[in-house]
Structure 1
Amino acid sequence: MSTAGWLPNGFTVQQTDTNHTRLSVAVGGSGPVLVLLHGWPQTSRAWARVMPELARNHTVVAPDLRGTGDSDRPEHGYAKTNQADDIRGILNALNLTGPVAVAGHDIGSMVAFAWAAAHPEDVSHLILVDSLLPGLGLEEAMNVAEGGMWHFGFFMSPRIPEMLFDGHELEFFTATFTAMSNPGTFSDHDLAAYAQAYTGRERLRGGFEHYRTLLADGRENLALLAERKLPMPVLAIGSTESGTTTAQALALHADNVRGAVAPTGHFVAEEDPDWFTKTVTDFVA
Structure 2
Amino acid sequence: MDINSGSAPATPGIGHRFIDLPGVRLHVAEAGTGTPLLLLHGVPQDATVFTGMIPALAQNHRVIAVDLRGCGQSSAPAGGYSLDSQLADLLGLLDALDIKQTRIIAHDLGALYAFMLSLAHPERVRSLVSLSIPHPFLRFNLRFLPVFKDAWFEPLLATPGMATLLMGRGRQPMARLMFRNYVLDPGIWDPVVLEYYLAKLREPGRAAAIGAIYRQCVFPTFLKLMRGGYLGQRLTTPTLLAVGEQDNAVPANLLQGYESHADAMELLRIPGAAHFLLDEQPERVVSAALEFFAREGH
With the length of structure 1 as denominator, give the TM-score of the two structures: 0.88
Tell me how far apart the structure 2 counterparts of residues 85 and 103 of structure 1 sit (CA, whole Å).
18
Give matches, 1:60-71, under 5 Å.
60-71=63-74
Deviation at 1:177, TM superposition (A): 1.4
Tell me how far apart the structure 1 counterparts of residues 12 and 222 of structure 2 sit (CA, whole Å).
38
Query: Which of residues 167, 170, 175 is equivalent to 1:168?
Result: 170
Tell me how far apart the structure 2 counterparts of residues 38 and 56 of structure 1 sit (CA, whole Å).
20
Query: Which of residues 241, 261, 265 is equivalent to 1:253?
Result: 261
Tell me how far apart the structure 1 counterparts of residues 264 and 47 of structure 2 sit (CA, whole Å).
28
For structure 2, which runs of at least 5 residues remain unmatched after alignment?
Answer: none
Mean CA deviation greater in 176-185 or 18-27: 176-185
AA partner of residue 178 (structure 1): R
Deviation at 1:243, TM superposition (A): 4.9
User: In the superposition, relative to structure 1, how do residues 115 and 146 fare at CA in structure 2: closer, same or farther (>3 Å)?
Assistant: closer
AA partner of residue 280 (structure 1): A
Instruction: Quote the RMSD (CA, aligned, Å).
Output: 2.8
Give matches, 1:119-268, under 5 Å.
119-132=121-134, 136=138, 147=149, 149-168=151-170, 171-183=173-185, 184-200=187-203, 202-212=205-215, 213-218=217-222, 226=232, 228-241=233-246, 242-245=250-253, 247-263=255-271, 264-268=273-277
Query: Residue in 2 aligned with 1:75?
Result: 78
User: In the superposition, relative to structure 1, how do residues 34 and 246 fare at CA in structure 2: closer, same or farther (>3 Å)?
Assistant: farther
Mean CA deviation greater in 18-27 or 273-282: 18-27
Deviation at 1:249, TM superposition (A): 4.8
Deviation at 1:163, TM superposition (A): 2.4
Tell me how far apart the structure 1 counterparts of residues 253 and 293 of structure 2 sit (CA, whole Å).
21
The question of whether the paired residues in 1 share the 8 Å contact of 2:126 and 2:237 is answered with yes
The question of whether the paired residues in 1 share the 8 Å contact of 2:137 and 2:261 is answered with no
Q: Secondary structure at the match of 1:91?
A: helix
Deviation at 1:224, TM superposition (A): 5.9
Identity of aligned residues (%): 27
Deviation at 1:225, TM superposition (A): 5.2
Query: Which of residues 41, 55, 65 is equivalent to 2:58?
Result: 55
Q: Secondary structure at the match of 1:211?
A: helix
With the length of structure 2 as denominator, give the TM-score of the two structures: 0.84
Q: Secondary structure at the match of 1:39?
A: coil
User: In the superposition, relative to structure 1, how do residues 25 and 145 fare at CA in structure 2: closer, same or farther (>3 Å)?
Assistant: closer
Aligned residues, how many?
Answer: 283
Query: Residue in 2 aligned with 1:282?
Result: 291
User: In the superposition, relative to structure 1, how do residues 147 and 192 fare at CA in structure 2: closer, same or farther (>3 Å)?
Assistant: closer
**How far does the alpha carbon of each residue in 1:21-65 deviate from its partner, in whole angstroms, 9 at most, with x for none?**
111111111110111100000010011121111011111111100
Deviation at 1:210, TM superposition (A): 1.4
Q: Secondary structure at the match of 1:252?
A: coil
AA partner of residue 242 (structure 2): I
